[in-house]
Amino acid sequence: MKVSVKTPATIANLGPGFDSFGLALPLYNIVSVEETVLPGSGIEINIINEKNNEENNIADVPTDKNNIVYKAIELLHNFIGQSPNELKITIKTQIPISRGLGSSASVIVGGLIAANELLGRPADEKVLMSIATEIEGHPDNITPAFVGGMTMASWEEDGSIFYRKLPWHDDWKLMVCIPDYELNTEISRSVLPKEVALKDAVFNLKRSAMFIDALYNQDDELLKLALKDKLHQPYREKLVPGLSDIIKNLKHTNGVLGAVLCGAGPSVLVIYNGVGASEIKETVTETWNYFNVKSTFLNLPIEKQGAQIL
Ligand code: HSE
C-alpha cells in the first residue's frame, strides 16, 4: 500500500512573530510512503524535482536514515513501540529548498501523515504536530503546513503544540521575492543571540499584539506598524544583504503594507493591498541588483487548506 500527501509551502515569523506566526502558500511538495521489500538498508528515498521532472538527489539532502522524513516516521513508529519496516519514500518537490519557504516542514508533515495512514492512524493531529516540531525545531512552519491559512503556534514546555488559526483579509496579497541563493536555516539561526535586550523583546511583544488585532479588524494601518522586528531580522541582515534596503525602499510604495524576511530567509515577503505589484518587483530587483543578487517573484494568495491525503 502507498499513501501520498500534498502539503503546502509556508512562511514563518511574518516580522514580529519569531518562531510563532506562519502562513501557508499554494505551492506544494508531495510525499509518498509505501511499505515494500527492498534490498540493502531497507529504505529507499527518491527526490524528484517537479519543475524538470528529473530524479534529482538535491545536494545536501540525505537519502538515507538521516533524511528528516525518515527520522520523523521513525519517531512515529517509536511512539507506538515499533521500528519502521522497509520503506520507500518518494518526495516530489515544487517548493524551492533553503529559501525560507518551509520545504522541510512540508516534507516532514507529508511523510508523517502518510506513515500514520499506513499504520492505521495510531496518532492524532496533536501527536503528529509534536513529532513534526521535534524534528523541525520550531512549530511556526509545521502548523500552517498541517492546517493551512494563517496560524500562531506555541511549542509548550510539555512538548505539545498549542495553535490557533487566525483570519487573513482577502485583500492582503503576497509577493514572495526569492533571491538566487540558498540559506541554510541552521546557519541563519546560528547568528541569533541567545539573549536579547528587554526593550527589543517589548518592541516585538507590542508588534505581535498589533499584528493579531490588525488581522481580526482588517486594519491596514495597524498591520503597517506591526510588520516590524528586532529579534531576528537585524541579525540576519549580514546573511541577506539588501534586506533593510528593500524594507526601506518599499516603505512609501503605493499599496505596500510591509516587507519581512520569510522565515530564516533569504526570501522576502511583501504584503500589499493588490496595487503596485510591478513597482514592488522593480524596487526589489533594483535593490538586490546593487548587491549582485538576482531575484524571481511569486505573486500568490494565501493557501487556506493544509496537508491533504491524495
Ligand atoms: N522561525 C524560524 C526561524 C523559521 O526564523 O529560524 C525557520 O524557517
Query: pTM (2 decimals)?
Result: 0.95
**Ligand 1 pocket test: which of 186, 189, 190, 236 has the largest number of ligand atoms within 8 Å of its C-beta?**
189
pLDDT in tens, 56-85: 446 578 888 899 999 999 999 999 999 888
DSSP conformation class of 156: -
For ligand 1, is residue 229 a contact (CB within 6 Å)? no
Q: What is the pLDDT along the chain (310 residues), one digit of tens a residue?
A: 899 999 999 999 999 999 999 999 999 999 999 987 766 668 889 998 876 544 444 657 888 889 999 999 999 999 999 988 889 999 999 999 999 999 999 999 999 999 999 999 999 999 999 999 999 999 999 999 999 999 999 999 999 999 999 999 999 999 999 999 999 999 999 999 999 999 999 999 999 999 999 999 999 999 999 999 999 999 999 999 999 999 999 998 999 999 999 999 999 999 999 889 999 999 999 999 999 999 999 999 999 999 999 9
Q: How far apart are CA 87 and CA 28, in angstroms?
A: 22
Ligand 1 centroid to residue 293 C-alpha, Å: 22
Given the CA of residue 264, which atom of ligand 1 is nearest to it?
Answer: 5
For ligand 1, is residue 12 a contact (CB within 6 Å)? yes
Give 44's strand partners. 88
Element (H or E) spanning 80, and its range?
none
Q: Which residues contact 100 (CB under 8 A, 6 or more apart)?
A: 11, 12, 183, 261, 262, 263, 264, 265, 266, 267
For ligand 1, is residue 232 a contact (CB within 6 Å)? yes
For ligand 1, is residue 136 a contact (CB within 6 Å)? no
The full set of domain ranges for the chain reads 2-167+303-309, 173-300
**pLDDT given at position 84:** 87
For ligand 1, is residue 263 a contact (CB within 6 Å)? yes
Q: What is the dihedral of CA 89, 91, 97, 103, to 10 degrees?
A: -80
Ligand 1 centroid to residue 193 C-alpha, Å: 14
Ligand 1 centroid to residue 18 C-alpha, Å: 7
Ligand 1 centroid to residue 257 C-alpha, Å: 22
**pLDDT given at position 49:** 84
3-state secondary structure 188-247: HHHCCCCCCCHHHHHHHHHHHHHHHHHHHHCCHHHHHHHCCCCCCHHHHCCCCCCHHHHH
Give 35's strand partners. 87
Given the CA of residue 188, which atom of ligand 1 is nearest to it?
Answer: 6
Q: If you take atom 4 of ligand 1, which residue's CA is the nearest one?
A: 263
CATH number of 2-167+303-309: 3.30.230.10
Instruction: Examine residue 266 and say whether the peptide bond preceding it is cis (omega within 30 degrees of 0).
Output: yes
For ligand 1, is residue 141 a contact (CB within 6 Å)? yes
**pLDDT given at position 158:** 96
Ligand 1 centroid to residue 124 C-alpha, Å: 25
Ligand 1 centroid to residue 19 C-alpha, Å: 6
Q: Do domains 2-167+303-309 and 173-300 have the same CATH topology?
A: no
One-letter identity of residue 54: E
260 and 13 Cβ atoms separated by less than 8 Å: yes
Q: What is the dihedral of CA 154, 160, 161, 164, to 10 degrees?
A: -100
Ligand 1 centroid to residue 260 C-alpha, Å: 12
**pLDDT given at position 42:** 80
Look at residue 77 and give its three-state secondary structure.
helix
Ligand 1 centroid to residue 17 C-alpha, Å: 10
**pLDDT given at position 59:** 58
For ligand 1, is residue 98 a contact (CB within 6 Å)? no
| Residue 200 burial class via C-beta count within 10 angstroms: exposed 0-12, middle 13-18, buried 19 and up | middle
Q: How many CB atoms lie within 10 A of CB 158?
A: 6
CATH number of 173-300: 3.30.70.890
Ligand 1 centroid to residue 47 C-alpha, Å: 23
For ligand 1, is residue 108 a contact (CB within 6 Å)? no
Q: If you take atom 3 of ligand 1, which residue's CA is the nearest one?
A: 264
| Residue in the structure block whose three cell numbers are 528593500 | 246
Give the full edge-to-edge strand order of the sheet including 295-300.
Answer: 256-261, 268-272, 173-179, 295-300
